[in-house]
Structure 1
Amino acid sequence: MASNDTDRGRAPRRRSTVRLTALGACTALLASCAGAGGSGGDGGGGGASVNVLMVNNPQMLDLQKLTASDFTKDTGIKVNFTVLPENDVRDKISQEFSSQAGTYDVASISNYEAPIYGKNGWLAPLDDTVAKDPGFDQADILPSMRESLTGADGRLYAEPFYGESSFLMYRKDVFEAKGLTMPERPTWQQVADLAAKADGAESGMKGICLRGLPGWGEVMAPLTTVVNTFGGTWFTKDWQAQVNAPAFKEATKFYVDLVREHGEAGAPQAGFAECLGAFQQGKTAMWYDATSAAGILDSADSPVAGKVGYAPAPVVKTDNSGWLYTWAWGVQKASKRQDDAAKFVAWASGKGYEELVGEKLGWARVPAGKRTSTYENADYLKVAGPFAKATEEAIAGADPRDPGVQPRPTLGIQFVDIPEFPDLGTKVSQEIASAIAGRTSVDAALDKSQQLAEKVAAQYRNG
């Protein structure tokens, strides 16, 4: 959910992924940003080509810069990119793939879309193409990532470009100064106690930052992981809505109380980007969010570089509680260039591409979080040493098929993998944000949300 993400409205993502506002100028001029193929055409000039529709995240823009000199030069396949901001690209991908227009061969999708699109027949399975490419090494893909991109039919519908989970970030220097110790595997109650003790440790510093911004991928991403580990769920296996059930309510009250009592200023408007800024500026002592944030926090130009500790996502009743998100590559079923599209996916998600980024752009910019070998690479570990192991373990421990204490009707950790969830999650998030702002009670917010969830559940029970 950088994804979460990132992400993701999301937001998946950003998700959880930092959006560079400077990129907006690029996407405003698609012809210059996406090259000759910005409109989705073949780009002229004849020869082999594929059309790629993707989100404008920094990692994707790095890919765009490297494609001509490394992929096209080696394969002769020209790649025509159309690059859009996340919300816009999601809408365009949904329209393109649902209509099977065939304009784009490849698109950046997440583990939210992949199983749904695969079930609808919108994606070309990659089991017999990319996954069997002898140079790709499918076994090197982290198991939780493979699982999250596999449909209920067992077919693989996308390959990850980069991935993330969630964990707890904290200021080691502040904890030392206050005589505080972070448990090796903290519980949420321990985190609440630490937040109370760290509150005011420095001038203007609050104990913790937790997202409060409305959005199914903003406040609902971390909150749903809290719900999971408190023993709650959005729906039971037989599609009974549980949004105002005791466990869901207990988790939500805990989250809302924690952020109201010891959380950041302006919490109802704080998403990933706002919490990132608050943590870097010394305004909070802890932050629970996407693992993708770590590379930013420990980058050479970060004011908190070297001062951050990383602990697993806090738990209550489960062994793990981190979310799982990936931006991945899917091939449209209607594409007439599936072989060339598969070659592009194999290159963009391959081990060789990570080496290329490391050598040409720096190891801090490697699209990590998807391969076991990344976390065995000495060059990468020199840069990511403080957080690499914590990230790898968080992703490895995330189970999209079994994230809580009870069976679920479908995939998903920080989201429910059904087409209705973006609308449902966003509406519920607005109620939660209102409770964080003190405009309504948690009970009232969840009772109203239960009615919304019940309407969705009824469609599946009766379908």
Structure 2
Amino acid sequence: MSEPPHTRRGRLTRLVLAAALLASLALGPAACADNSADPVTVTVAAVDFMHGIEALVDDFEKDHPHIKVNLVFLPENSLRARVPKDIASEASHYDIVAIGPYEAPIWASRGWLTRLDPYAARGDYDRQDFIPTVRESLSYNGGQYAMPYYAESSFLMYREDLFAQAGLTMPEHPTWQQIARLAARLHDPGHDVAGICLRGGAGWGNLLMPLNMVILTFGGRWYDENWNPRLTSPETRRAVRFYVDLVRRYGQPRASEAVPADCLRTMSQGRAAMWYDSTALAGRLEDTQHSRVAGRIGYAPAPVRRTDSAGWLWAWSLAIPVTAKDRDAAWEFVSWATSKDYLRLYGERLGWVRVPPGSRLSTYELPEYRKAGHAFVAPTLDALAAVNPRRPGTHPQPWTGVSYVGIPEYAALGNRVSAEISAAIAGRQSVDEALAKSQLFARDVVEGAGYRD
């Protein structure tokens, strides 16, 4: 006997429902991941200078609801101490880390970092839009291991109004001897105005950034081509004495403790006539909401003595450790925070004069940015174009890099040497005493690591 039609339809319905139930069980959580799964948390070890990203991260999370961003801002010295330990120990606290041209090739050679150019080839990220010297500084063996958030060289910032009042003119291409004479004329402690502001606080990324530029342009160096230390050579000694004497005589109070933020505050409050430092800080000086001297600043190339140029090269950049919990999610954030769209969003939301500079060529084509930064846009590009990372001084060097020695041991060595020279600025010892100790530190490093074998 055949089944009634309604019975057959009922059995068919039950079979279809059963099959659907089995299929949903087989798919498990993936079937509804887009709607119910917890978002991936991406933890970023950022340097203090990146604080603007905090105001914009909600935009990223809105467009990427599957990713939650945990920003951890650290002072420069703390960041440099904490991050390598985290990666080397595989503690995996950070999915994205802020590094620069010093760390990128060294950490890549150790296998600590994820190669990013294959990720960057997707979509319209446009890695070729990065300023070439900056992009190359973050590369190793043909691969790029970090993407620049902003990049910098260095130049001289000076008060045009004070120069005019004193009847002085900034040379088109100043020498350090000319800057010393100008600082002597403009130094006015009675009115709380220093002739020049310079970094003096210990730290290889602090005092040694400008001081190494002085050493190189004076003909000095850390090591010769055979890794013999040269910190007590006549040229290096002359350069360090010049720097220490300049800041002691015509610099800001408590110069031996000064970090970039101190000089920025001093200059923006009108308490210094000149300041030699990062090109990335010009936007802060021109920000009318935070600077009393906005619109009154001139920009000149980094002072020289025996070289044609003397600017450093640095780029605070975002890298993904191989220990990152979710590299794809990490890349989504890195690509957003270093993109053309991010830089435009930054200008529209936080002010064009404050846009992170020096990374993308296209930024310098934006009419809004060129108008806001008209005083420093061209000098910044000129400074970055003049950098020669392979031979920044008068001698060949057995490493690639500007304002640092490109070896793993330099971080600790630079901190020790900078502490000795900072003590000389404070008057606790002579320059000769500081350099004699530093020469021994530098010799111990190359002998212990076998660089001269």
Q: Following TM superposition, by how much is the alpha carbon of 1:462 offset from its aligned partner in structure 2, in angstroms?
A: 4.8
Q: Give the whole-Å Cα distance in 1 for the aligned partners of 2:270 and 2:324.
A: 49
**Residues 1:322 and 2:311 aligned together:** yes
Q: Residues 103 and 197 from structure 1, CA distance in 2 versus in 1: closer, same or farther, beyond 3 angstroms?
A: closer
The corresponding residue for 1:160 is 148
- Select which of 262, 275, 278 maps to 1:287: 275
The corresponding residue for 1:129 is 119
The aligned amino acid for 1:198 is: L
- Select which of 391, 400, 412 maps to 2:389: 400
The aligned amino acid for 2:84 is: S
The corresponding residue for 1:187 is 175
Q: Is the 8 A contact 2:67 2:329 kept in 1?
A: no
The corresponding residue for 2:302 is 313
**Residues 1:214 and 2:202 aligned together:** yes
- Select which of 317, 321, 326 maps to 1:332: 321
Q: Give the whole-Å Cα distance in 2 for the aligned partners of 1:67 and 1:82.
A: 9
**Residues 1:390 and 2:375 aligned together:** no
Q: Is the 8 A contact 1:174 1:201 kept in 2?
A: no
- Of 232-241 and 247-256, more deviation after overlay is shown by 232-241
Q: Which runs of 5+ in 1 are unaligned?
A: 1-43
Q: Secondary structure at the match of 2:158?
A: strand
Mapping of residues 106-145 of structure 1, within 5 Å:
106-130=96-120, 132-145=121-134
- Of 381-390 and 434-443, more deviation after overlay is shown by 434-443
TM-score, with normalisation over the residues of structure 2?
A: 0.86
- Of 93-102 and 218-227, more deviation after overlay is shown by 93-102
The aligned amino acid for 1:252 is: V
**Residues 1:272 and 2:260 aligned together:** yes
The corresponding residue for 1:5 is none
Q: Residues 204 and 367 from structure 1, CA distance in 2 versus in 1: closer, same or farther, beyond 3 angstroms?
A: closer
- Of 245-254 and 91-100, more deviation after overlay is shown by 91-100
- Of 337-346 and 354-363, more deviation after overlay is shown by 337-346
Q: Is the 8 A contact 2:267 2:273 kept in 1?
A: yes
Q: Residues 341 and 269 from structure 1, CA distance in 2 versus in 1: closer, same or farther, beyond 3 angstroms?
A: closer
Q: Is the 8 A contact 2:286 2:353 kept in 1?
A: no
Q: Is the 8 A contact 1:53 1:93 kept in 2?
A: no
Q: Is the 8 A contact 2:61 2:69 kept in 1?
A: no
Q: Residues 56 and 249 from structure 1, CA distance in 2 versus in 1: closer, same or farther, beyond 3 angstroms?
A: closer
- Of 336-345 and 301-310, more deviation after overlay is shown by 336-345
Q: Give the whole-Å Cα distance in 2 for the aligned partners of 1:92 and 1:372.
A: 32
Deviation digits for residues 100-157 of structure 1, max 9, x if unmatched? 4445332222222111110100011112221x23411112101121121112x23211
Q: Residues 276 and 358 from structure 1, CA distance in 2 versus in 1: closer, same or farther, beyond 3 angstroms?
A: closer
- Of 192-201 and 448-457, more deviation after overlay is shown by 192-201
- Of 187-196 and 359-368, more deviation after overlay is shown by 359-368
Q: Residues 56 and 260 from structure 1, CA distance in 2 versus in 1: closer, same or farther, beyond 3 angstroms?
A: closer
Deviation digits for residues 217-261 of structure 1, max 9, x if unmatched? 222111011111111111123211111112111111111121222
Q: Secondary structure at the match of 2:45?
A: strand
What RMSD, in angstroms, separates the aligned Cα atoms of the two structures?
Answer: 2.2
Q: Give the whole-Å Cα distance in 2 for the aligned partners of 1:100 and 1:230.
A: 43
- Of 285-294 and 392-401, more deviation after overlay is shown by 392-401
Mapping of residues 17-416 of structure 1, within 5 Å:
46=37, 49=40, 51-55=42-46, 57=48, 59=50, 61-69=51-59, 71-86=60-75, 87-130=77-120, 132-151=121-140, 153-200=141-188, 203-301=191-289, 302-335=291-324, 337-416=326-405
Report the identity percentage.
44
- Of 108-117 and 430-439, more deviation after overlay is shown by 430-439
Q: Give the whole-Å Cα distance in 1 for the aligned partners of 2:327 and 2:187.
A: 55
Q: Residues 239 and 175 from structure 1, CA distance in 2 versus in 1: closer, same or farther, beyond 3 angstroms?
A: same
The aligned amino acid for 1:387 is: F
Q: Secondary structure at the match of 1:254?
A: helix
Greater helix percent: which structure? 2
TM-score, with normalisation over the residues of structure 1?
A: 0.84
Q: Following TM superposition, by how much is the alpha carbon of 1:175 offset from its aligned partner in structure 2, in angstroms?
A: 0.7
Q: Following TM superposition, by how much is the alpha carbon of 1:457 offset from its aligned partner in structure 2, in angstroms?
A: 1.7
Q: Secondary structure at the match of 1:118?
A: helix
Q: Is the 8 A contact 2:42 2:329 kept in 1?
A: no
Which has more radius of gyration?
2
Q: Following TM superposition, by how much is the alpha carbon of 1:45 offset from its aligned partner in structure 2, in angstroms?
A: 6.3
Deviation digits for residues 189-241 of structure 1, max 9, x if unmatched? 11112112222397232321122222212221110111111111111232111
The aligned amino acid for 2:303 is: P
Q: Secondary structure at the match of 1:123?
A: coil
